[in-house]
Structure 1
């Protein structure tokens, strides 16, 4: 069994750590050895957040080196460019097309860059998902993270190997389980492999 490396990136407040916990929990229940690492220094202030999830038959370290990620999951468009060097040459990027302007953009010092998704598509195999629209259809914008997890699960072919409902139930508040299960399914359905 091959080991897989998934790097998730975005900014604070997007639920990236929760998404990694859902993924890790489901993988463990599915029989994989899983290691997870998270970095969230200035996350509370909208700073960069990354998590690294490695899984397979036997994994010895949670750290993913440059050019070693099988999948780069970006919850915010600009963050994709920052972490793209970690994606392997035959890896795949999953990008949420949702844009969160940084402080310099909000103050008008610089514009939000255009064409980021198109530039990345020209470089690597890319799945672009408008998770904001999908989350709005679910009824809660905060489900974007779980929608992207659903897309990742489908991309990796993991939708049938574990009980993802149990992972959602273990990781989110009881009153949010139903809406997150719906979000997970919508995320899976958004990807055609």
Structure 2
């Protein structure tokens, strides 16, 4: 087993499925025989507040917190959150960012300006950036809530977890009746990241 510790930062806003995604990732890593540590930070409101989850796994992990600028992968469920956290990606790391934009009500006040081109700005901060239309893929499959499994599929190629383990965890953990859509979403995420060149 490799000595490497993988550090994955998952970020978004409340209601997007960030927490479920971090739970699926953590369980998949545990089922792959890895030591896993996880930490979550919830925003001020369940819907619309910023949510982040640190997931670290490897042969032996001592802390769930990812040191600044050392994430192997940052998975952003929302475009501006991708920009906000892009600096956490290590030099050879990957930022996968859902192209969905959720403009908070505060953006209509003078105190906050939602960036005009958050993904374009993120490209300046991280070496590898892959924008994914996770919401569009999930909608085409028939369930917008499957965006989290689309995005997990998009990062799965960076991680030492087999497809069989991923799919078993997804079947077990997603809401009953959505298993096939979520499996299709996961596979679509794998294909989407293959077809999208890093920018």
**TM surpasses 0.5:** yes
- How far the C-alpha of 1:82 sits from its partner, in A, is 2.0
Within-5 A mapping of 1:104-119: 104-105=106-107, 107=108, 112-119=114-121
After superposition, the C-alpha distances for 1:31-70 in whole angstroms (9 at most, x for unaligned) are 1111111111324141100001101111111111111111
Which of 100, 105, 108 lines up with 1:98 in the alignment?
100
Within-5 A mapping of 1:36-55: 36-55=38-57
Q: Are residue 128 (structure 1) and residue 131 (structure 2) matched?
A: yes
Which of 130, 153, 156 lines up with 2:156 in the alignment?
153
Gapped regions of structure 1 (runs ≥ 5): none
Cα distance in 1 for residues equivalent to 2:193 and 2:159: 11
Calculate the aligned-residue CA RMSD, in Å.
Answer: 1.8
Within-5 A mapping of 1:156-175: 156=159, 158-160=161-163, 162-175=164-177
TM-score, with normalisation over the residues of structure 1? 0.91
Gapped regions of structure 2 (runs ≥ 5): none
Cα distance in 2 for residues equivalent to 1:41 and 1:102: 13
TM-score, with normalisation over the residues of structure 2? 0.88
- Residue number in structure 1 paired with 2:72: 70
Cα distance in 1 for residues equivalent to 2:45 and 2:172: 24
- Residue number in structure 2 paired with 1:137: 140
Cα distance in 2 for residues equivalent to 1:169 and 1:129: 23
Q: How many residues align?
A: 191
